[in-house]
Chain A
């Protein structure tokens, strides 16, 4: 008996099968909302009775929480630029003296007083401020602070102060720097 062995192969039969391979890519994009907030901040700071040149015990506003998930800048805006005498006639500048001759007194007096605020390790001074203009006092890293204090302190001036009430409104801003 004659045996005829026929081996028929399709192309590539004995080759290692090429692995069918498919590649896909996915772009994953995510975002975290930028949040900057300060809570439990006292809205009124009262220095009490001032000394002759404006000396006063520092005021400590404790229990403040701050959260900002980006590096941010701290800026201060003062309505007056200083603690201003509540008077219809007082000058808008704390450097403006009440002259003794004009007021029938002896010597000079001031009608305003600078003060400072220490916020998250940065100290801002109203002597660097003009009315209603924000000034940046520095940058802070992302904040997750609980129960920290903001310190307010008057800056005693060279002249005695006119008797009366002094006030100002201070705006503390925490602004994320963005990316």
Chain B
């Protein structure tokens, strides 16, 4: 928060009013009006600030043939309406041999998921995106409220589309939060 401008106004205005209230002549003999009206256009500036803190920067999950989910808790603190942008490096959970191993027998090494950014604060709406849709370009939106020191959760939900290759899968999710600005636009 910037308070410097307010202090500056106080120091500047007071001397002007004291000087202006004295009627008489100046050193050149010009008449000095008895009073002067000062109109001050006062503006201040609070720097937009948004903080995002994840409880962990890693999510580990065990995949089965059925539906699954994983999540990480988070905290946000923002002095503007919060806008969220998320991007997936792989577009889903990708097996390290995806694209190499034979998939003709009905196996897959790719598990797309639904990504939900949810903040527990009044007036907020969860941001829900599909991992496939946020690979090439980020996706997201506004949660619709100003989350002041609010808790939240980032959740992944998936439903495998076929038998899964055994082994390790991975993805990297980038989350960018920002204030929407004065115009309300993210």
What separation, in Å, do the CA atoms of A94 and B2 have in the docked complex?
A: 95
Given contact pairs A6-B39, A13-B45, A28-B59, A23 touches B50 in the complex (Cβ within 8 A): no
B106 touches A (CB below 8 Å): yes
B interface size (C-beta, 8 A): 70
Given contact pairs A10-B2, A24-B54, A144-B163, A5 touches B41 in the complex (Cβ within 8 A): yes
Q: Which residues from chain B contact A25 at a C-beta distance below 8 Å? A: 57, 172-175
Q: Which residues from chain B contact A23 at a C-beta distance below 8 Å? A: 174-176
Q: Which residues from chain B contact A30 at a C-beta distance below 8 Å? A: 60-63, 70, 93, 111, 168-170
A interface size (C-beta, 8 A): 43
Q: Which residue of A lies closest to B51 (CB)?
A: A22
Q: Which residue of A lies closest to B182 (CB)?
A: A17
Q: Which residues from chain B contact A18 at a C-beta distance below 8 Å? A: 47-48
User: Does B178 lie within 8 Å of A32, measured CB to CB?
Assistant: no
Shortest distance in angstroms between A103's beta carbon and chain B's nearest beta carbon?
A: 53
Q: Which residues from chain A contact B63 at a C-beta distance below 8 Å? A: 30-32
Q: Which residues from chain A contact B48 at a C-beta distance below 8 Å? A: 17-20
Q: Which residues from chain B contact A19 at a C-beta distance below 8 Å? A: 48, 178-179, 181
Residues of A62-81 contacting chain B, CB below 8 A: 69-71
Shortest distance in angstroms between B165's beta carbon and chain A's nearest beta carbon?
A: 6
CB within 8 Å of B: which residues of A?
1-13, 16-35, 69-71, 141-144, 176, 178-179
CB within 8 Å of A: which residues of B?
2, 4-5, 8-9, 12, 33, 36-45, 47-54, 56-64, 70, 72, 78, 80, 93, 95-97, 101-102, 104-107, 111, 154, 156, 163-179, 181-182
